[in-house]
Structure 1
Amino acid sequence: MTRILHVLDHSLPLHSGYTFRTRAILRAQMARGWDVRGITGYRHIADGPLEEVVDGIRFHRTPGQPAEGNPLIREWRDISAHADAIDALVRQWRPDVIHAHSPVLNAMAAQKAAKRHGLPLIYEIRAFWEDASVGNGTGTEGSPRYWLTRQLETHAVRQADAVAVICEGLRSDLIARGIDPDKIIVSPNGVDLDQFGDPVPRDPALTAKLGLEGADVVGFIGSFYDYEGLDDLIAALPRLVRARPRAKLLLVGGGPMEQALRDQAMASPFADHIGFVGRVPHDQVEHYYAQVDVLAYPRKAMRLTDLVTPLKPLEAMAQGRLVAASAVGGHRELIEDGVTGTLFAPDDPKALAAALAGLFADRAMWDERRIQARRFVERERNWSSNILRYEPVYQRLLARGSAARRAA
């Protein structure tokens, strides 16, 4: 039985797009008959034992506490501690392949263990760390730290035996850096339809609690980061309400921009049309999808959103919801305008309001739109089929390792 060790930033029981993708990958690989485990570094902040099983998946933790002091020295020490934990687990469990997931710190830690034990390494990039820091407001494009992180990313890709990326935007960027296209596979974001594929009916009691009876409901379910453009969504609401007086906005989730968004909503002339729910347990999120007519994703135009495809629009499609999204590169990879969703100009509340009003004015096409979007997810973004993209890569790396051992 093939053993795959996944090196991770963080994992379940924490909830994020990162952990849900990880869960989907590992569960699908287990269903294929592979033996898989995960190991996290110090960015996994949940309390728990050094080894635990969550949702049927076995995770190991890096022992100890994060280093303190200068950020560069701290990160280097954290990499070393993570590498030592990976090395100890490799000695104990004897995996056949190491599969490291971004950010690049994980790849650097995994490479040490892979080289020491002669194991093949695949490095999976979900977003470039330097661009993610800009999107999260913790970095600046073109700064020395941004440049250094970009160099580390490129070096890690060159050192890996194979590279996986979640979308064509990331693949094209790596090719432009001189990486061999044959070394890269695209393993796109997907939906675990076994867990997320059966929409629940709208709960009338929850509808009443949220004050959504008879409303045209626009919603966002996810993390409140600046790059998500939720300020544009709130800014678009007055125009939308003037066109559709029954329109209401439901915001589910939380994050760094939450207070600023609440302040903006309170200052809106239509504050009573905006509802903040806060974070909800993941096993309850389907009930909130069921309350929404149109899920809106007004991501701002920037390098991160042009290169990276999000997960949330796919979940909305799987749930039978309409999708409206800004026409940034990551959305254009997922959404065919007028077929599986509606695209509008980014950074433009007026265009956003017009797109939403147009959807509510044309309900006759809703059923067909939902059918087409759901078929797209089932055909091209279903984890039960997406997982097959890894198999030939693992087989090639294992065969190469066997040949090298025979030669030695």
Structure 2
Amino acid sequence: MSRENGHRPLAILMAADVDPVPPTSGAERVLHEYSARLAARGHRTIVICRREDRLKPESEAIGGVQVHRYDVNSNGTLTFLRSAIQGGSDLCRQIVASEHINVINLHQPLAAEGVFRVREARNIPRIYTFLSPWSEEYHIRHPASAGIPAALHHWANVTARRLIERRCLHACERVQVLSDYSYQHLAQIHRVPRSKVSIIPGGVDTVRFAPVEDRIAPRRKLGIPPDALLLLTVRNLEPRMGVDALLDAMPTVCQARPEVHLVIGGSGPLTTHLQQRAAALKIDEHVTFAGFIPEADLASYYAAADLFVLPTRGLEGFGLVTVEAMACGTPVLGTPVGGTQEILRGFDESFLFSGTSAEDLAEGILQHLPRIRGNQELRARCRAYVEENYSWDVIIPRIEALFYAAARGNAAPTHARNKAECNQA
């Protein structure tokens, strides 16, 4: 607790484009854990975010965190952008007028832009938590259509997002990233100097994500034989996630190991396409599309799997699913993309695929299957590695120290603090 460490509690305002309740994505998870755990350590924690679900209240207190939401107008891109920025600005102005805020933590560009327009907030230290480049996310999720007008529209959207995000990053006193990979993106795209960047990884709730005694129950629920070699991936079903390459690898894997079964958790624009692809590859009997897996069930799915497979092609800024699966005792095979490399190299570099192609995935899976079945020592190592390096109990004190340093106006760089990172230095 902050009082026990001799520090006064801080009043922290967090502004985000996502809602911390319920946390269903990586960005929401980070916001939720930061706000809730800092509140549990005695800090006054306030979150402002958009109210995209009109069934949610405008204001509510959840676990010591005060959440305030504002409405946006989604009738057209420009209208949406203006209303999102203005709504965040108005709400921020109300809060800083009534609260003495020590530090502002910004999580996404539109929320940050709204805060920057509040004159009364300009002297409050600001820390930007950077997860991935906004412009690249848009480019990957919304590729340009054929034709000059469509190409120009796409270019304008990408450029506007890049410029807005760059302004936000350079206007903050500190920028926090979750991996060295994310910092490289930050430097390349936005030219943010290393001197203002703190690299503090994401974390995992090791109480909630933990090994379970009954690893068979989720298999029964899905109708999967208890003796199957169970592979699991949990992804948004969109192109950059690489699930299509994983499906393409499965005929080779199943031919060599007929007892293998793959469960794909998640939903997205490629759901129907991927289901059709599995049928065309004649691997229906070896693949289950579980759809969106509720937060309450996620840990049991991780723990039930013999191996978690992360086939990402790009923009894996950290990889929360990697540490969540390992916290449950399940080893992870991941592509050499983004923050996944940093996590797995600190554990065992052999758990990195040689590439992102279907052939690379099939080769890696078949190479590792003999060593994972019933390997309790390996599962215990996975758990211990995450507890030591990525538990929120390890990470949040580092976030707290960063906020204290910013509030003092003396934010020193923070890097290579966990043992896995130190070993790589």
- Identify which of 80, 84, 97 aligns with 1:91: 97
Contact 2:74 2:80 survives alignment (8 Å):
yes
Partner SS, residue 366 of structure 2: helix
User: What is the distance in 1 between the residues matched to 2:352 and 2:81?
Assistant: 40
- Identify which of 222, 232, 239 aligns with 1:219: 232
User: What is the distance in 1 between the residues matched to 2:186 and 2:219?
Assistant: 46
Deviations 1:156-179 (A, max 9, x none): 111112111121122233334442
Query: Which residue is 1:53 aligned to?
Result: 61
What TM-score results when the alignment is normalised by the length of structure 2? 0.85
Contact 2:15 2:107 survives alignment (8 Å):
yes
1:396 CA displacement: 3.1
Paired letter, 1:332: Q
Q: Which runs of structure 2 are paired with 1:69-108 in the superposition (5 Å)? A: 69=76, 71-102=77-108, 104-108=109-113
Query: Which residue is 1:120 aligned to?
Result: 125
Are 2:178 and 1:166 aligned? yes
User: What is the distance in 2 between the residues matched to 1:126 and 1:321?
Assistant: 25
Query: Which residue is 2:16 aligned to?
Result: 8
Residues 1:96 and 1:256: Cα distance change in structure 2 (over 3 Å): same
Query: Which residue is 1:292 aligned to?
Result: 305
Residues 1:68 and 1:354: Cα distance change in structure 2 (over 3 Å): same
User: What is the distance in 1 between the residues matched to 2:362 and 2:277?
Assistant: 17
Query: Which residue is 1:199 aligned to?
Result: 211
Contact 2:133 2:185 survives alignment (8 Å):
no
Query: Which residue is 1:24 aligned to?
Result: 33
User: What is the distance in 2 between the residues matched to 1:315 and 1:203?
Assistant: 16
User: What is the distance in 2 between the residues matched to 1:163 and 1:338?
Assistant: 27
Are 2:269 and 1:248 aligned? no
Deviations 1:113-138 (A, max 9, x none): 36546322111111110111123236
Contact 1:67 1:78 survives alignment (8 Å):
no
Are 2:180 and 1:175 aligned? no
Residues 1:169 and 1:115: Cα distance change in structure 2 (over 3 Å): farther
User: What is the distance in 2 between the residues matched to 1:255 and 1:20?
Assistant: 19
Residues 1:310 and 1:203: Cα distance change in structure 2 (over 3 Å): closer
1:66 CA displacement: 1.6
Range that drifts further, 45-54 or 104-113 = 45-54
User: What is the distance in 2 between the residues matched to 1:381 and 1:338?
Assistant: 12
Partner SS, residue 372 of structure 1: helix
Deviations 1:336-389 (A, max 9, x none): 287276111333112211211121122489434333332331222121121222
User: What is the distance in 1 between the residues matched to 2:178 and 2:346?
Assistant: 21
Range that drifts further, 114-123 or 246-255 = 114-123
User: What is the distance in 2 between the residues matched to 1:118 and 1:337?
Assistant: 40
Contact 1:192 1:382 survives alignment (8 Å):
yes
Paired letter, 2:35: L
Deviations 1:218-251 (A, max 9, x none): 1112322221111111111110011101011111
Partner SS, residue 193 of structure 1: coil
Are 2:249 and 1:236 aligned? yes
Residues 1:214 and 1:319: Cα distance change in structure 2 (over 3 Å): same
1:211 CA displacement: 1.9
Residues 1:46 and 1:136: Cα distance change in structure 2 (over 3 Å): farther
- Identify which of 331, 336, 339 aligns with 1:327: 336
1:38 CA displacement: 0.9
Query: Which residue is 2:202 aligned to?
Result: 189
Paired letter, 1:158: H
Query: Which residue is 2:381 aligned to?
Result: 372
User: What is the distance in 2 between the residues matched to 1:338 and 1:256?
Assistant: 33
Contact 2:229 2:261 survives alignment (8 Å):
yes
Residues 1:172 and 1:20: Cα distance change in structure 2 (over 3 Å): same
- Identify which of 271, 292, 296 aligns with 1:283: 296
User: What is the distance in 2 between the residues matched to 1:18 and 1:277?
Assistant: 22
Deviations 1:55-100 (A, max 9, x none): 55321101x442523x235312320121111111222333221111
Range that drifts further, 330-339 or 377-386 = 330-339
Residues 1:149 and 1:348: Cα distance change in structure 2 (over 3 Å): same
User: What is the distance in 2 between the residues matched to 1:291 and 1:364?
Assistant: 12
Contact 2:265 2:291 survives alignment (8 Å):
yes
Contact 1:339 1:372 survives alignment (8 Å):
no
Identity level (%):
24
Paired letter, 1:214: D
Are 2:157 and 1:145 aligned? yes
1:204 CA displacement: 3.7
What TM-score results when the alignment is normalised by the length of structure 1? 0.88
Paired letter, 1:240: V
Residues 1:363 and 1:49: Cα distance change in structure 2 (over 3 Å): closer
Paired letter, 1:57: V
Residues 1:290 and 1:340: Cα distance change in structure 2 (over 3 Å): farther
Residues 1:159 and 1:385: Cα distance change in structure 2 (over 3 Å): same
Query: Which residue is 2:139 aligned to?
Result: 134
User: What is the distance in 2 between the residues matched to 1:202 and 1:247?
Assistant: 20
